[in-house]
């Protein structure tokens, strides 16, 4: 997809301008918010967004029926000569053919867990919005691979290294929001995620001191709340923008994803300098640097336990 930047007084105005120029609806485009418009004492800063049409071809056809899916599954189960992973691969190949998706399915590894890689001309058809289609394919492949087994074997289905990229995005998101939660001393509520993605967030913040993460709500709308120490757990959380927008901007950094106010690791040297300089300034009647403490915010262990 080719992105083009648009400006307006507000994000809504910039998006509307983009939709008019592209001749598309909001559902047919991908939107990245670069900067939200805001007023200043003198003048204002325009809102900036990047917009591109989604690279998806609409195929008008009837969805695959449950009977056809069961028929595909049954045909795979009859071939006992195949391994668990091979049965899962054959099922996915048949399912993708029924869905008229041009893709190649390959068994990468079959040991303690089964790893399957899908390569497609149009990865959007296989991955879906935030990996929803890929997750569904993985669930079905897991059901096929574990048919007749007493112990469950984990099955991972990936496409174009999507899962590794998604994990890196979620880890960056978790770090940015943890730092913000400590800085503003408020609970931060993330958008709903599946159990796999929630585990990534919990794990990413498990070593940050002063932070607790917990999952709330019911499936499929269960979400994570990041809680700084000392904040009332019953207080109203601050809701975040989508992880896609935040990962694009690197929190509140520039369009290349850099965040000049956030660091992944605590800057103890700067904190030490800050405190010494503050004491020196106070004793000499100068200006205190206490207001710069946020540069060295220390984040640590999550007390989330088995919260998923």
pLDDT of 228: 92
Encoding tokens for residue 112? 């303690």
Confidence band (pLDDT; 50, 70, 90) for 253? very low
**Which residues lie below 8 Å from residue 233, measured CB to CB, with a gap of 6+?**
187, 227
Please report, for residues 20, 74, 135, the alpha-carbon distance to residue 95 in angstroms, rounded to integers and kept in the order given: 38, 12, 14
pLDDT tens digits for 98-121? 999 999 999 999 988 999 999 998
Measured between alpha carbons, how far is 288 from 171 in angstroms, rounded to an integer?
A: 35
Greater confidence (111 vs 41) lies with 111
Region 211-222: mean pLDDT is 90
pLDDT of 68: 61
Kindly give the interhelix angle for 84-98 and 66-77, rounded to the nearest 10 degrees. 150
pLDDT higher than threshold 60 for residue 265: no
Confidence band (pLDDT; 50, 70, 90) for 267? very low
pLDDT higher than threshold 70 for residue 195: yes
Measured between alpha carbons, how far is 17 from 137 in angstroms, rounded to an integer?
A: 37
- Candidate from 61-75, 85-99, 157-171 with smallest mean pLDDT: 61-75
CA angle 194, 198, 201 (to 5 degrees): 150
pLDDT tens digits for 136-176? 999 999 999 999 888 999 999 999 999 999 999 999 999 99
pLDDT tens digits for 6-20? 888 888 888 888 888
Nearest to 224 by CA among 162, 181, 257: 181
Confidence band (pLDDT; 50, 70, 90) for 200? very high
Query: For residue 161, which phi and psi values (nearest 5 degrees)?
Result: 60, 30
pLDDT of 67: 58
pLDDT of 89: 95
Region 254-282: mean pLDDT is 46
pLDDT of 260: 41
Q: Indicate the length of the chain as a whole number.
A: 308
> Percent helix, strand, coil in the chain (nearest 5)?
40, 20, 35
Please report, for residues 183, 230, 276, 278, 288, the alpha-carbon distance to residue 291 in angstroms, rounded to integers and kept in the order given: 11, 20, 14, 10, 8
pLDDT of 138: 94
Cis (ω within 30 of 0) for the bond into 220?
yes
Greater confidence (93 vs 257) lies with 93
pLDDT of 90: 94
Contact assessment for residue 213 and residue 202, using Cβ atoms and an 8 Å cutoff:
yes
- The backbone region for 266, taken as left when phi is positive above 0, alpha when psi lies in -120 to 50, beta otherwise, is beta
Greater confidence (5 vs 284) lies with 5
Share of the chain above pLDDT 90, in %: 36
Model's pTM, two decimal places?
Answer: 0.52
pLDDT of 81: 80
Report helix, strand or coil for 52: strand
Structure-derived torsion over alpha carbons of residues 146, 149, 153, 156, reported in degrees to the nearest 10: -10
Measured between alpha carbons, how far is 249 from 171 in angstroms, rounded to an integer?
A: 14
* Residue 272 burial by Cβ neighbours in a 10 Å radius (0-12, 13-18, 19+): exposed
pLDDT of 244: 43
pLDDT of 232: 85
């Amino acid at each position: 997809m080719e992105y083009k930047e648009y400006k307006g007084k507000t994000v809504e105005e910039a998006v509307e301008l983009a939709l008019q120029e592209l001749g598309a609806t909001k559902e047919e485009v991908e939107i990245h918010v670069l900067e939200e418009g805001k007023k200043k004492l003198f003048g204002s800063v325009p809102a900036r967004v990047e917009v591109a049409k989604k690279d998806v071809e609409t195929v008008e056809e009837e969805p695959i029926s449950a009977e056809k899916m069961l028929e595909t599954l049954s045909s795979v189960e009859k071939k006992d000569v195949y391994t668990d992973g091979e049965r899962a691969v054959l099922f996915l190949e048949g399912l993708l053919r029924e869905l008229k998706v041009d893709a190649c399915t390959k068994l990468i590894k079959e040991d303690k867990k089964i790893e399957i890689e899908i390569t497609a001309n149009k990865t959007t058809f296989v991955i879906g919005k935030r990996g929803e289609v890929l997750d569904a394919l993985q669930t079905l492949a897991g059901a096929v691979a574990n048919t007749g087994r007493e112990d469950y074997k984990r099955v991972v289905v990936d496409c174009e290294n999507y899962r590794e990229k998604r994990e890196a995005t979620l880890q960056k998101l978790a770090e940015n929001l943890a730092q913000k939660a400590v800085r503003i001393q408020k609970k931060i509520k993330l958008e709903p995620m599946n159990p796999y993605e929630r585990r990534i967030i919990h794990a990413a913040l498990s070593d940050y001191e002063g932070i607790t993460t917990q999952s709330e709500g019911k499936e499929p709308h269960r979400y994570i709340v990041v809680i700084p120490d000392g904040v009332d757990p019953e207080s109203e959380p601050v809701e975040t923008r989508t992880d896609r927008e935040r990962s694009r901007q690197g929190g509140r950094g520039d369009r290349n994803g850099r965040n000049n106010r956030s660091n992944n690791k605590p800057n103890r040297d700067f904190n030490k300098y800050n405190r010494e300089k503050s004491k020196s300034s106070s004793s000499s009647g100068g200006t205190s640097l206490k207001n710069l403490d946020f540069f060295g915010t220390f984040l640590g262990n999550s007390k989330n336990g088995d919260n998923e």
